[in-house]
Structures are given as C-alpha cells and as structure tokens.
Amino acid sequence: MTTPWEQSQQEAEEQRHPGLGAIMSERRQLLNLAYRLLGSLADAEDVVQEAYTRWYAMSRARQEAVESPGAWLTTVASRICLNILGSARRRRETYVGEWIPEPLPDPAEWIAGAAGGTGQDPADRITLDESVSMAFLVVFESLTPAERVAFVLHDVFRYPFAEVAEILGRSPAACRQLASSARRRIAARAEASPDATRQASVVRRFKTAWEAQDIEALLGLLDPGATAISDGGGRAIAHPLPIEGAERIAQLYLTIARLAPARTILERTVNGLPGLVIESEGRIETVFAFDVAEDDRITRIWAVRNPDKLQPWQVS
C-alpha cells in the first residue's frame, strides 16, 4: 500500500508534472488489458512498466502534444502484447509440459495479504469477470494474436473498431472480422458455466469426495469426457499430458490422495470462480480451476503447480 512518504513524493511529483495523476490512473486499465491478452500477471506487469517507461522517455513537449495519454498508453501496451504473443508460440515449444494461464486469487484476499501477502495497491487489482475465467483464458490461447487483441479491446473494453484499427494497423472492417472470428471460436469452445453458487457446490462436493477417497462420488461429479490438465513447468511434479475421461481422472486423484504428504485442501476463488488450492507447510503448492457444465458436471480441471505462477497466492 502507499505510505505517507510515498504519497508526499507523488504529490510533489504531481506539482512538478501536472497531469501525472491522470497518467498513473491508467495503470489498472492497462494491467487488466495486458493480463487478458497474455494470461500472465508477471508479463502483464512488465508490459505496463514498459509502456510507462516509453511515456517518460519522451520529452515534455512530445507528452503535451499527445491528445489522449490514456489512448497512447493503451496503444503502446497493446502493441507490446502483440509482440509478446507473436513469440509466445515459439517459447511454449520449449516449455516443459502443458502451459496453463497464471491463476489469480480473489482481489480481497490478494490485497489483504491472505493470499498475496505483498500488499498490492488496489490500482493493481485485476477485475475478475467472465473474460478472465480460466476457461476463457485457455480458449484465448487458440486465437491468433490479432484476433485476441481485437476481441479483448472491442468486446471486453468496448473500444470502437476505429481505435482498434489504429492499434493493429488494419482497417476497421478487418478488425471487425477478427473480433467476429474470435467470438465464434470462443462460443464454440467455451461452455456456459453455472453461476458461482452452483459451481461452489459442485467444487465443494468434489473436495469432499476427494478427501474421502470416494471414487463413486468422484465419478458422479465428473463428465464422462472430462479432461484434467496440470502445469508444473518443469519446476514441480505434474502429469505431462492431459488426462482424458472421468475414470482415469478419478483414479489419478485417488492416487494423489493416497500418496501425497500431509496437506490441506481449501476452497478459494480462482479467476473469479470457485476453485480449490492445496496448502502444504504454509505455502500454496497447487491451484485448481474448474469448468462446470450446465448439468453440474465437471468438464475440465486445470491444476497449476509451477511455483513461478503462484506468487500472488503466497503469504509472505
């Protein structure tokens, strides 16, 4: 959180550079945009930092010539994200095992330190809505970089296509087609989830069945064609390929329950929806996100175990 000394420094800086407050107020919007585009909080923070670095590298005269600093920062951040997305596929080829977007805790826990422990400023919160659910972020991975940027800017942040066109360097009509293509692909692959209360009930029953090592109960909660994916990134033990089918998933989780050392399974909000975490010796070692169909059966489980992706969850 901002200390009194930091606040006084910010006020002094504002006096030297009028409009600084307005510039910095864009930070949350930029962070929300970059996280949705990249699926990584660490990368999103780097993007925002780079955007501000480029702004402050300009002369005062050039800054004052910018009609809308917020739009300028959004354009720069979006283009940086485009460059990162363009190279992400090559980087993923060297990633060990399956890659899952970085999960985020509930903002209240994150800010209070119950999950983050770092005292993040409220300006750094990610707004947890449908566009950051794990199901959406996973589908985003199947889109081209241009489709992702067009969809997120227009459908999520409500930028007109004329502005999206400037950012992407394409015509408004082409950007409209990109967003439409993304919309169709998302609709085809992202299932409609039940409300949070119903999903919480399903996840709670899954937790109870898992702890009781009740295979029949687990099978009753899993869709027959369910998929379980684990991301260890070479830093933690994880199954290297997706596990397909309710029976195989249930057997896997029963094996984990029998062989894993003492740990606690907790119900937590993961990217805005009910999920689970495993805590061992005071640290979160796994975060689980779920996709629950309208019939209240689990269709997908994502288990993030890579410690690099779990920093917001750790208590300092």
**Domains, in order of start, for the chain:** 4-189 (no CATH), 196-313 (3.10.450.50)
| pLDDT value, residue 92 | 77
Q: For the chain, how far is it from start to end, CA to CA, in angstroms?
A: 15
The pTM assigned to this predicted structure is 0.85
Tokens of 244: 């397909």
**222-231: strand order across its sheet:** 243-244, 222-231, 298-304, 283-292, 273-280, 264-270
114 to each of 160, 287, 316, how far by Cα in Å?
39, 15, 9
* Average pLDDT per 10 consecutive residues for the chain, totaling 316 residues: 47 49 86 95 94 94 93 96 86 86 82 45 67 90 94 95 96 97 86 80 97 96 98 93 97 91 91 94 94 94 96 78
| pLDDT value, residue 117 | 42
Q: Which residues contact 179 (CB under 8 A, 6 or more apart)?
A: 147, 150, 151, 154, 155, 161, 164
| pLDDT value, residue 29 | 93
